[in-house]
Amino acid sequence: MPQDKDKKDSTDIRMKGFKEKKDVVDFLNIIDEISPSKNFEVVWLNKAAGRVLASTIISTVKVPNFNRSAMDGYAIRGEETFGAAPYSPLDFKVLGLSLPGKPFKGCVTTQTAVRIMTGAPMPEGADSVIPVELAQEENKVLRVIESIPPGKNVGRIGEDVKVGQEILNAGRKLRPQDIGILSSIGIPSVSVIKKPSVDIFITGDELLKPGSMPMGYQIVDSNSVMLDALVYRDIQIHPNIIFLEDRRELIGDAISKSNADFILISGGSSVGQEDHAPSLVKELGKILIHGVALRPASPSGMGIINGKYVFLIPGNPVSCLCSYDLFASRAIRRFSGINCELPYKSITLPLASKISSMVGRMDYVRVKINNGFAEPLAISGASMLSTTTIADGFLMVPGECEGYPSGENVKINLYD
């Protein structure tokens, strides 16, 4: 059990402040050392969309594995149509019908044809398909009014997929069409990267659980439902959420007993008297970074405890959103093998008014879009979650920049 370090820990920064704050880039570089998980699982194709392939798929079959018609029409010998024209048509005897899964049993010979539907097997002896628009059938006689070359309108064996062809590479996030092609080569299930497990610890004696009404000096927690939705957005699982009082031993025991791949601790990450999480991570494992030159969310941090990644997420809700999106989300997505960049669409727009920033600190600026311009709403206000609900998106002012003048074109990440 973690020991009470309130009195003797010289590295404890509570009520002292950060000695220094690392650049956001330093934090991102640490996260980018995380490798995709090596834990795999096999899932059926109908459950595989959005999952990440663990190994490359190589086809052992040809698709199609027979020559087939590419349209509705008549299977014939293309060379025999040469010279056909509206005023000098050529006649062919219709021998029968080829349907998908029900091939014509005979053979196409000189001046004969077989009625054929899209996807049906090509009859023996035929090498092309004349569309219904270019022919007329009456009393089993086909009148062709335009010539077609051999091989026209026929899907050849292996045209889509060849034996030995690499279909999809390891690390690919499967799309619906990927699932379709895997099915077409006879694969019923695939090995994918197993989704990480996530525990979220919500700390704070002042918090009431979601669904409560604010009362007295207590506030209703918003971070748990927001983080739940953010994690689900990233990896389509709902994390395990636990509410904890601001007691060092309770938080320490929860961290020690967690078997999750990721632990997100909301609240208690700064330098206040009841901010136990940073020193607990240091005691139980290794803290890699704590304190970032970022507004808001400067008390963000990260550590490792027994192979588990622990993220210190500030309790103020705007800081929570910012910290998760920039850091925890990136790590969880990397571990899951998916694109780790910000999961937002972006546009470039001119600023409606200037933004002032401080060199050496990155700023998370909420903006409203009006008449093709981005209007800055807020840089500070870590506890004012409404600034993110009113906003259409946000921009990041990098640490080496003093801000942007009015009219400057900037990249806006859209919340929607």
Q: What is the dihedral of CA 275, 276, 280, 282, to 10 degrees?
A: 30
We report the CATH number of the domain holding residue 353 as 2.40.340.10
We report the CATH number of the domain holding residue 78 as 2.170.190.11
Which residue range(s) make up the domain with 202?
Answer: 24-37+195-336
Same domain, yes or no: 234 and 290? yes
- Global pTM reads 0.85
| Cβ-based neighbour number of residue 316 at 10 Å | 22
Same domain, yes or no: 230 and 288? yes
Query: What is the rounded distance in angstroms from the CA atom of residue 84 to the CA atom of residue 88?
Result: 6
Under 8 Å CB-to-CB from 190, ≥6 apart: which residues?
Answer: 42, 43, 45, 48, 51, 53, 54, 57, 174, 182
Same domain, yes or no: 109 and 59? no
Alpha carbon of residue 199 to chain centroid:
20
| Cβ-based neighbour number of residue 397 at 10 Å | 22
Same domain, yes or no: 211 and 179? no
Residue 8 in any domain: the answer is: no
- Region of 333 on the Ramachandran plot (φ > 0 left; ψ -120 to 50 alpha; else beta): alpha
Residue 172 in any domain: the answer is: yes
Same domain, yes or no: 218 and 314? yes
Same domain, yes or no: 316 and 396? no
We report the CATH number of the domain holding residue 185 as 3.90.105.10
Domain count, the chain: 4
- Region of 311 on the Ramachandran plot (φ > 0 left; ψ -120 to 50 alpha; else beta): beta
HSE of 249 in the Cβ direction (CA atoms, 13 Å)? 3
Nearest alpha carbon to residue 254 among 210, 209, 202: 202
Tens-digit pLDDT string for the chain (416 aa): 555 544 455 556 554 556 788 899 999 999 999 999 999 999 999 999 999 999 999 999 999 999 999 999 999 999 999 999 999 999 999 999 999 999 999 999 999 999 999 999 999 999 999 999 888 999 999 999 999 999 999 999 999 999 999 999 999 999 999 999 999 999 999 999 999 999 999 998 888 899 899 888 898 999 999 999 999 999 999 999 999 998 999 999 999 999 999 999 998 777 667 678 889 999 999 999 999 999 999 999 999 999 999 999 999 999 999 999 999 999 999 999 998 889 999 999 999 999 998 999 999 999 999 999 999 997 777 778 899 999 999 999 999 999 999 999 999 999 98
| Residue 387 main-chain phi, psi, to 5 deg | -65, -20
Same domain, yes or no: 385 and 396? yes
